[in-house]
Structures are given as structure tokens and as C-alpha cells.
């Protein structure tokens, strides 16, 4: 094991995080551990923000934050806060991020970037302006930081698959399969923006853009809500978002990607599978075995061809030099540690973080096009500018 220390001789960055539930816990774990393994700028976990005073105070103590607060506006205005990590529900992303950028704070926002295309456009514009002042921003698509997927991108960019023809991406969960599952903010359009579409299709779409370094030019989609009402505080309440979504994406390169996502796929807990098929090779990935990548090299003799399993745990693999000896696998939570590491290094170097708010906007345009297509009987929606800025993931751990 090779531990890496924080960069010495720097004034620490003061970090505030807004939101302390599921994503807040995952991000807190990353902030708490990143400096133990990676060489990053010095920082301090200064403030955790949440609406419930007792709940956020207890979480701050457990997760390693120096203090807690309930008013994010006051925290964003503080001179000792330099980084704002937004893990709040989607309807709060735009307001908080815009205020933080205007205040000169570096901003990390959980995916998707915003609830609406208009909000995403405003955020991308604000991020570009802030960057001219040295203020950085990034979207939290953590699966870009799975070492096996970072390796997949390297293999594709090296031409090992040749011309990519087809991509299949499926993200399936089953936590809403029971109609008696109660109403939450994730089931209301005004708070969540969309259902499975924004929640998990955003991940699948971002992976297509990330892996292929391509852009989407055409979209057709379909949405479905299988359980239209769920028990809530006022009895049965209407579900105003989708339970499942399907999309076909045409890419500028000529490749075609199929997307399937669901939160009612019985037996699937958190299954993200990706298949990339080229004319010289193919790749398979399954998040439930996130340390493995399967690669077929069609340039091998026919009698030897077949998918071979790559255990992504070697020091030569992305991010892995910082962790354990070969064969000692890492987990889902490490993707957030890698995310925080990359964001801190971008702040320190001045390089544009990846995925940028422009990348988040590209995903948001595609999500909006899926909704538009679904409302128009799955007709194809043409996109002229759903670009994604591709930045290579470093292979070194430091």
C-alpha cells in the first residue's frame, strides 16, 4: 500500500457541503479519506448544511465536519469557505450553485446538473464566466471514476475497438417495484425534475459521451410510469415522473447507442451494464462487478478469440496506484474519493475539471430531448449542440 500525503505549505481550502443524506454520506466519506491516499491540496471539512438542526449536527459529528448550519446562504457568503459541494435535491442545485459561483466559490454539484434545461444553460454560462475568474466547477458523475470504465475509455481512445458501431447501456434498479412504497421527493417533478430519466439515465448517457468522446445528434425516447399514485402525507398522491425510460441515441461518429433505465426492474438493485461493440474489438462492464472489464480483441486469431476478463487492480490501471496491492479490489465508494481528488487537483492546477458544467449541460439537453420525443410519440429529435468535452482520466495515482 502506498499512502500519499496532502500537498504541504498551502493554506487549507475551507469546504462546505450542502445536504447530508445518501449523497452527503458518500461525499463526506470521500472528503474524509482522500488525503490519506492521494496527494491533494490541503483542505478542511468546515461546515455541513441541512434543514434539520439536530439531524445535521449529528451527521456533521459522524462524518467529520467541524460544524453544522441550517442556512446555506450564510455559509456560501463566509470568507473561510472556498469550496461548496452540493448534494441537495435537484430543485435546489441551480439556486445554490449560482449563488456560490457568484461568491467566488469552487462548486461541485451532484448529477444531474439541474432540474430543467433552462437551469442547466444558466449554470453552464455562469460556470464559464466564473472560470475566467479562476473559479472551478464540476458535475458529480462518479462512474467516470470507476477504474474499469476509465480503462475502457483508454482502450477505446487508443483504437483497440476500431470504429465503434453500437453501445448498449442499461441502468436497472427495483426500489420502486412495490406500489406501496411511499411518496418521496424523487417522485415529484417539481423537486426531482424527472424520475428514472434524470436519476439514472443521466449516468448511462454520460457514460456514452465519456467512453466515446462523441456527441449526440439525434434522440428518440419513451417514458413510462407504472405506478401513477403512491401513499403520502395526503393519502394517495400522484406520481409526476417516470418509473422507466428508453432511448435511442444517434452519435456524430455514426454509432448508435441504446439506453434502458428503470427503478421497477425486479431483482436489479443497482445494475449498470455497458456494452461497446467496434469492428476490431468489444468491451463489457457490469457495475455489480466493478473491478472487472471484459475485452474481446478481434485482431487475435479466430481460434483464440473470446472475451477475456481483466481484473482492474494493477498499479498500471487508472487511480489504482494509490490503493492496495494487486488483486485487492476497491468498491463503489472509492469513485467519490477519486472524484474529490480530481476536483481538488483541478482547483490547484487551474485545469478545467471533467465533467464540466458544459458536459452536464450536454447530458441535460439529451434528457430534455428524450422527454420531448416521448411526448411526440417517440419521434426523433435532432440535436445540434449536445457536445461533451472529453478530458482524459490520469492513469497515475498521484
For residue range 305-359, what is the model confidence (pLDDT) as tens digits? 999 999 999 999 999 999 999 999 999 999 999 999 999 999 999 999 999 999 9
Residues 51 and 166 in one domain: no
- The residues near 93 (Cβ < 8 Å, ≥ 6 apart) are 86, 109, 110, 113, 114, 115, 119, 123
Is residue 112 exposed (0-12), middle (13-18) or buried (19+ Cβ within 10 Å)? Answer: buried
pLDDT at 1: 24
Residues 199 and 109 in one domain: no
For the chain, what is the domain count?
2
117-146 pLDDT per residue, tens? 999 999 999 999 999 999 999 999 999 999
Nearest to 85 by CA among 49, 55, 116, 53: 49
Residues 312 and 353 in one domain: yes
Query: Could you tell me the pTM of the whole model?
Result: 0.93
- Given 110, 142, 174, the domain boundary residue is 142
For 262, the enclosing helix (H) or strand (E) is strand 256-262
**Can you give the CATH number for the domain in which 266 is found?**
3.30.360.10
- The residues near 343 (Cβ < 8 Å, ≥ 6 apart) are 106, 108, 136, 138, 353
Q: State the Cα torsion 49-51-54-60 to the nearest 10°.
A: -20
- Given 92, 116, 142, the domain boundary residue is 142
pLDDT at 386: 52
DSSP character string of 189-234 = HHHHSSSHIIIIIHHHHHHHHHHHT--EEEEEEEEE-S--EEEETT
Residues 138 and 180 in one domain: no
> What is the C-alpha separation between 381 and 371, in angstroms, rounded?
10
pLDDT at 384: 84
- The residues near 73 (Cβ < 8 Å, ≥ 6 apart) are 99
Residues 134 and 152 in one domain: no
3-state secondary structure of 283: strand
Is position 5 within any domain?
no
- Geometric angle at alpha carbon 287, from 284 and 293, rounded to 5°: 35
Is position 393 within any domain?
no
**Can you give the CATH number for the domain in which 133 is found?**
3.40.50.720
Stretches in the chain below the pLDDT threshold 50 = 1-6, 8-9, 387-398
Residues 283 and 320 in one domain: yes
> What is the C-alpha separation between 393 and 276, in angstroms, rounded?
19
Residues 134 and 178 in one domain: no
Q: Alpha helices of 8-92 — where are they, by DSSP H?
A: 22-37, 53-63, 72-76
**Structural domain for 238, as ranges:** 146-386
Residues 318 and 295 in one domain: yes
Is position 397 within any domain?
no
Is position 398 within any domain?
no
Residues 128 and 166 in one domain: no
Residues 128 and 84 in one domain: yes
Is position 41 within any domain?
yes
Is position 395 within any domain?
no
Please state at what angle helix 22-37 crosses helix 53-63, rounded to 10 degrees.
20
- Given 102, 121, 142, the domain boundary residue is 142
Is position 1 within any domain?
no
Residues 164 and 313 in one domain: yes
3-state secondary structure of 319: coil
Task: Show the cell assigned to 175.
Answer: 426500489
Is position 337 within any domain?
yes
Nearest to 210 by CA among 272, 135, 145: 145
Residues 80 and 131 in one domain: yes
Largest CA distance in the chain: 67
pLDDT at 10: 62
Amino acid at each position: 500500500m502506498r499512502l500519499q500525503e496532502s500537498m504541504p505549505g498551502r493554506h487549507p481550502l475551507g469546504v462546505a457541503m450542502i445536504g447530508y443524506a445518501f449523497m452527503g454520506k458518500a461525499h463526506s466519506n470521500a472528503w474524509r479519506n482522500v488525503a490519506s491516499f492521494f496527494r491533494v491540496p490541503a483542505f478542511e471539512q468546515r461546515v455541513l448544511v441541512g434543514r434539520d438542526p439536530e439531524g445535521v449536527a449529528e451527521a456533521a459529528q459522524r462524518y467529520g465536519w467541524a460544524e453544522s448550519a441550517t442556512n446555506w446562504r450564510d455559509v456560501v457568503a463566509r470568507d473561510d469557505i472556498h469550496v461548496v459541494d452540493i448534494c441537495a435535491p435537484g430543485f435546489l442545485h441551480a439556486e445554490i450553485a449560482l449563488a456560490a459561483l457568484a461568491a467566488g466559490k469552487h462548486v461541485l454539484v451532484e448529477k444531474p446538473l439541474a432540474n430543467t434545461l433552462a437551469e442547466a444553460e444558466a449554470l453552464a454560462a455562469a460556470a464559464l464566466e466564473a472560470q475566467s475568474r479562476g473559479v472551478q466547477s464540476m458535475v458529480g458523475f462518479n462512474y467516470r471514476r470507476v477504474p474499469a470504465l476509465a480503462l475502457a475509455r483508454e482502450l477505446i481512445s487508443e483504437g483497440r475497438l476500431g470504429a465503434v458501431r453500437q453501445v448498449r447501456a442499461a441502468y436497472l434498479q427495483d426500489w420502486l417495484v412495490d406500489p406501496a412504497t411511499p411518496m418521496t421527493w424523487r417522485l415529484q417533478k417539481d423537486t426531482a425534475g424527472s424520475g428514472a430519466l434524470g436519476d439514472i439515465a443521466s449516468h448511462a448517457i454520460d457514460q456514452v459521451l465519456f467512453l466515446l468522446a462523441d456527441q449526440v445528434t439525434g434522440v428518440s425516447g419513451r417514458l413510462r410510469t407504472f405506478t401513477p399514485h403512491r401513499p403520502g402525507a395526503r393519502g394517495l398522491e400522484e406520481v409526476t415522473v417516470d418509473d422507466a425510460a428508453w432511448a435511442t441515441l444517434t452519435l456524430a461518429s455514426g454509432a448508435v447507442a441504446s439506453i434502458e433505465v428503470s427503478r421497477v426492474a425486479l431483482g436489479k438493485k443497482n445494475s449498470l451494464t455497458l456494452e461497446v461493440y467496434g469492428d476490431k474489438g468489444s468491451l463489457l462492464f457490469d457495475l455489480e462487478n466493478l473491478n472487472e472489464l471484459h475485452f474481446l480483441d478481434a485482431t487475435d486469431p479466430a481460434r483464440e478469440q473470446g472475451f477475456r476478463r481483466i481484473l482492474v487492480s494493477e498499479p498500471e490501471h487508472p487511480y489504482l496506484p494509490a490503493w492496495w496491492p494487486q488483486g485487492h479490489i476497491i468498491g463503489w465508494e472509492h469513485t467519490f474519493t477519486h472524484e474529490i481528488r480530481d476536483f481538488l487537483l483541478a482547483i490547484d492546477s487551474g485545469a478545467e475539471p471533467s465533467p464540466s458544467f458544459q458536459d452536464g449541460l450536454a447530458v441535460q439537453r439529451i434528457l430534455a430531448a428524450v422527454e420531448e420525443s416521448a411526448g411526440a410519440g417517440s419521434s426523433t429529435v435532432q440535436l445540434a449542440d449536445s457536445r461533451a468535452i472529453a478530458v482524459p482520466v490520469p492513469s497515475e495515482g498521484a
